Structure 1
Amino acid sequence: MKKRTILLFSVCLLFGCNPEPAEDNSTPFLDAEIQNFQVNTSIRALEVIDDRHVWYAGAGGKYGVTTDGGVTWRHDSIEIEGTFPEFRAIASTSDAVFLLSVASPALLYRSDDNGQSWQLVYTESGEGVFYDAMVFMDDMNGVAMGDPVDGCISVILTGDGGQTWSKISCENLPPAEAGEGAFAASNTNIATSGSHIWIATGGGTARIYHSADKGKTWEVHQTPIIQGGTMTGIFTVDFYDENNGIIFGGDWERKTISKSNKAVTSDGGKTWELISDGIGPGYRSCIRYVPGAGGRSMIAVGIPGIAYSFDSGRHWQLISDEDFYTVRFTPSGDAAWLAGNGKIARMTLKTSGAHLTVPKNAQ
């Protein structure tokens, strides 16, 4: 088991100096302690149950779980007719966990025995079928979304704890625009708060779909995020409460570009304001608010690096150059789990430093 420590500057790293004086929003991230885990798959979906109980879903039909904070892992895979699904979405309730594959046929599995056995509860085949994200709002109500089919984005809902799922008709959704889709980059195309659901899209346009009634009715709003290209748009969305949210993305083919790639809302997603435009981090695949921080502190991960903001995204600090696809906080907000290509990490947030536990040389 290898360990290494990376020293991180405690000065304000703004990804290109901001000529205006920055607020005192820096925390002295002094080091990153790295400890190897062995994970042999690319992981874009994490589900953090509590500080010690964490699930992942990955490529090659693989999934895994730890119940002791990463000391030990149980790894397994699902095979169907000689093929292994690509899982890029995972979600849970208090008594079940769910895995969702991407391309046709989309396969949604449910386990109520901690992954010992799996039941196929939804499947969908056809041209254009590609599911990107899934989340539960509570123990009964869940939602998953995918790319447009038959003129509208794909949205499936459950109201019985994931035992059955049904797809929303295009008659009940706004029509998709030309080239509109979503990116299965981090299982964060969907955000929820109370009865509200927000869905982020990209490609030909970058829009936010919103439902205030658990998916019964929908509206859609434009955003100022870069759009119009194959790999441009919103890659991730998070809401701190029913009013305050953030979207992040950019141009995957020009990852260093930091213009028109991050925006916030204070009216539930109706209008969006660009933040740190032209400065701060470029493309990122996942953004998460720190729980209990009043909507001011957040972490963005992607390629390259982990960025942290203490002032609602106005200024950013690079805390590690490690590449990750996705991040999830523990309920307390004291730690975060991250995952990427062949690696899982646990990062503990402290005012005296950020301690990052990450696998290297995964086998």
Structure 2
Amino acid sequence: MKNLLFLGLFLLLFTSCKTENDSLPVVKSRVFTSVAVDTLLQEEISIRAILIDSNTVWYAGSKGQYGSIDLGTDKRFSGHVTKDTLSLEFRSIAKTKESIFILNVGTPALLYRISKDGSRIKKMYQENHPKAFYDSMQFWNDEEGIAIGDPTDDCLSVVITRDGGTTWNKVSCENLPKVREGEAAFAASNTNLVVKGSETWMVSGGTKSRVFYSADKGQKWSVVETPIVQGEAMTGIFTADFYDAKNGFIAGGNYEKLTQNFGNKAITKDGGKTWKLIAEKEGFGYASCVQYVPNSRGEQLVSVGASGLYYSSTAGEKWSKLSGDSSLYTIRFMNDSTAIGAGKDKIVRLRFK
């Protein structure tokens, strides 16, 4: 009787210690084996900057062009920025609740705010330094945003807004880690800058391939080395993404050796403090954009670049080629099975199956 009583008490304690989540079934993410593509836009434009705002795709590209596509109604808007005789090329795009922001590469650096109905566009920042070349832009929230670019001095160029994009101020190199000679950033897909909450990561290439980190929305910065290929002008990290504050992925390679598929992918599980090469001599070569699949627990990624479109369901250890299209430069997910891609002369919708 005592043994039975003891067993009953043990079972009661065991079941009472189980959490609510213990009783829930583990949902395994679906593994993709193919992708269906339909074209949303096809015209003469190079697009490396896209974002998804609810059911609308915004883009900015070459020849001063920008615009939007409502995926529900197919309502389209297109605009064009001219500046003297310059042919502007926009490779950075970001949004707040009220506005869209676009930023060109080259000098002068020109940052514009666009109303979401397309009726108003206004220049918010200009930088005339002959070395100005901005690569990427993101917002932490509706008031605070950041854009990064190549060095004009001995640090990466960083401009920050704290008032919703009305004013932008360049951060002094006294408050940023110094770069090495020949170290810069690549404007490949608006993904060499990543924000999660208050945390920020920006990545470099060239003579050094490093990750710069701020825990406090750009107030203080540190920098860590990575094992990504480096040492030449067109080597390094071209793209980065973080699934959450701990799990991240960087990719790139050698733009002059597009099929080289080693030294071009690395993973972190500690928020970017340390990086480990992964999938050496496996999968894609040079990549211009890598993105985590939403709701995949950090296990699924998609990459686009010179080798085509690749997919991993093993956190980047193994990759499968889903498309040979090498003309896509950038990609963003709408949900856990649909993404928008853009590149040379087109925007496409990608449905993963």
Q: TM-score, normalised by structure 2?
A: 0.88
Q: Which amino acid aligns with 2:110?
A: L
User: Equivalent residue of 1:37, what SS?
Assistant: strand
8 Å contact 1:26–1:317 — kept in the other structure?
Answer: no
Residue 37 of structure 1 is matched in structure 2 by 41
Q: 1:278-302: per-residue Cα shift (whole Å, max 9, x none)?
A: 1111110000011111111111001
- For 1:238, give the aligned amino acid: D
Distance apart, 1:242 and its partner CA? 0.9
**Equivalent residue number for residue 9 of structure 1:** none
- Displaced runs of 4 or more, over 4 A: none
Name the residue aligned to 1:328: 332
User: Aligned partners of 1:122, 1:35: CA distance in 2, in Å?
Assistant: 34
The gaps in structure 1 that reach 5 residues or longer are 1-23, 351-363
Q: How many residues align?
A: 324
Partner of 2:184: 181
SS of match in other structure, 2:41? coil
- Residue 150 of structure 1: SS of its match in structure 2? coil
- What SS is found at the alignment partner of 2:44? coil
Give the C-alpha shift of residue 349 in structure 1: 2.1
Moved more, 110-119 or 291-300: 110-119
Q: Is the 8 A contact 1:290 1:329 kept in 2?
A: yes
SS in 2 for 1:149: coil
Residue 299 of structure 2 corresponds to 296
Structure 2 counterpart of 1:60: 63
State the shift of 1:75 in Å.
Answer: 1.9
Does residue 126 (structure 1) correspond to residue 118 (structure 2)? The answer is: no
Q: Larger % of helix: which?
A: 2
**Does the C-alpha gap of structure 1 residues 38 and 230 become closer, same or farther in structure 2, counting only changes over 3 Å?**
same
For residues 239 and 37 of structure 1, what CA distance do their matches in structure 2 show? 28
The correspondence of residues 12-23 of structure 1 with structure 2, limited to 5 A, is: none
Partner of 2:344: 341
What amino acid is the match of 1:28? T
Question: What is aligned with 1:90?
Answer: 93
Q: In structure 2, what residue type is equivalent to 1:97?
A: I
Q: Deviations over 1:205-240 (max 9, x none)?
A: 000000000000000000000000110000001111
CA–CA distance in structure 2, aligned partners of residues 136 and 161 of structure 1:
9
The correspondence of residues 260-339 of structure 1 with structure 2, limited to 5 A, is 260-323=263-326, 324-330=328-334, 332-339=335-342
Secondary structure in 1 matching 2:43: coil
TM-score by length of 1: 0.86
Aligned residue for 1:205?
208
Preserved CA contact (<8 Å) 1:244 1:268: yes
User: 1 or 2 for the larger relative contact order (CA 8 Å, sep ≥6)?
Assistant: 1
Confirm or deny that 1:48 pairs with 2:49: no
Structure 1 distance, partners of 2:211, 2:118, is 33
- Equivalent in the alignment of 1:218: 221
Counterpart for residue 23 of structure 2: none
Give, as a single letter, the amino acid of the residue that structure 2 aligns with 1:329: F
Match of 2:33 in 1: 28
Which structure has the bigger radius of gyration? 2
CA RMSD of aligned residues (A): 1.6
